[in-house]
Amino acid sequence: MLAVVCHGKEDLRVEEYPLVPLKNNEVRVQVSYGGICGSDLHYFSRGGVGDFMIREPMVLGHEISGVVLETGTDVKEIKSGMKAGLNPSKPCLKCNFCLNGQSNLCTNMFFLGSAGRFPHVQGGFSQELILRADQVIPVPEATSLLELSLAEPLSVGLHAVARAGSLLNKRVLVSGSGPIGLLTALSALHAGATEVIATDIHDYPLQIAKEKIGVQSVINVAKQAEALQEFISPEGYFDVILEASGSPSALPILFQCIKRGGRIVQIGMLPPGTTSIPVNLLQTREIKFIGAFRAHNEFALAVKLIVSKRMDASAILSGTYALSDARSAFLQAGNRQEVIKLHLNLGDIS
């Protein structure tokens, strides 16, 4: 089969990759669509994400959907031909975190397309993929597989909102309007926030946030650096801030905008050693500064919300590329002036 393999910085190849045998508790799927994530772009552009550096060729991709091809002998509820949401997380299901409902913090996690372990966990940008049965969520035949491939990034937004606590009638700022930021804003509105303001350094994602996601207002912090100043006061303004930009320069002013006793949820991955947290403000205003990492049961929730059309994540879709043209897709995917989320068509299935 063919797969999109990263060999290091700016070294991306579409090449043959071996098929592997199917175990009794596994499912073989034909991958239909794969969304290019920010982490995929980091692996491509610099050969790593945070401290995770590529040390061997690695198939990229984890935002995927597909069709079941074959099931192991122990798999009963999943049948060949079913469309399915494909969860990139494969936790051990045995450690204390898994048993306590925190599988995203699993100490022995295998996450598709991650160089966090060695040998690396190969990703989902391949024509076929084998997953453990619990990673495969069957959906109705009428489901759009392109939209279903947004379940993973939507689950990240849902998890971040869950970490924030109740947003009902709350004022919320979403810092950064990339794909995760936009879906986090969508999740905040779905959770009942009375006001959601989105920021970014580019106009195009802010246009999407305003016109398609439905936030109340937007701020281009590159052009309107002073705009956040109006929210700075001894009392603060926002009940919750969801930081999805991954920009070290964003944090200091956010701590001045949050209400006393408010909560800042860090979603974006920051470059190692670049963060300066205003500890005195954190202490004297009793600000809760917490992390949000991937998702737990929010993946299954995201699938349900997409299938039922209770949430429309399609606002972030920007186009698809053929598998053979993966390099062009990656080069274009970082164009924040015109693109939110590009996909690879890996299976030619609608």
Q: Tell me the pLDDT tens digit for each residue of 170-210.
A: 999 999 999 999 999 999 999 999 999 999 999 999 999 99
Measured in whole angstroms, the distance separating CA 337 from the mean position of its chain's CA atoms is: 20
User: What average pLDDT does the segment 162-166 reach?
Assistant: 98
Nearest to 278 by CA among 287, 269, 265: 287
As a residue count, the chain comes to: 350
Question: Which residue has tokens 């998890």?
Answer: 159
User: What average pLDDT does the segment 145-155 reach?
Assistant: 98
What is the C-alpha to C-alpha distance for residues 172 and 237, in angstroms, rounded to an integer? Answer: 9
Instruction: Say what the pTM is.
Output: 0.96
Q: Tell me the pLDDT tens digit for each residue of 222-244.
A: 999 899 999 999 999 999 999 99
> What angle separates helix 179-190 from helix 151-164, to the nearest 10 degrees?
60
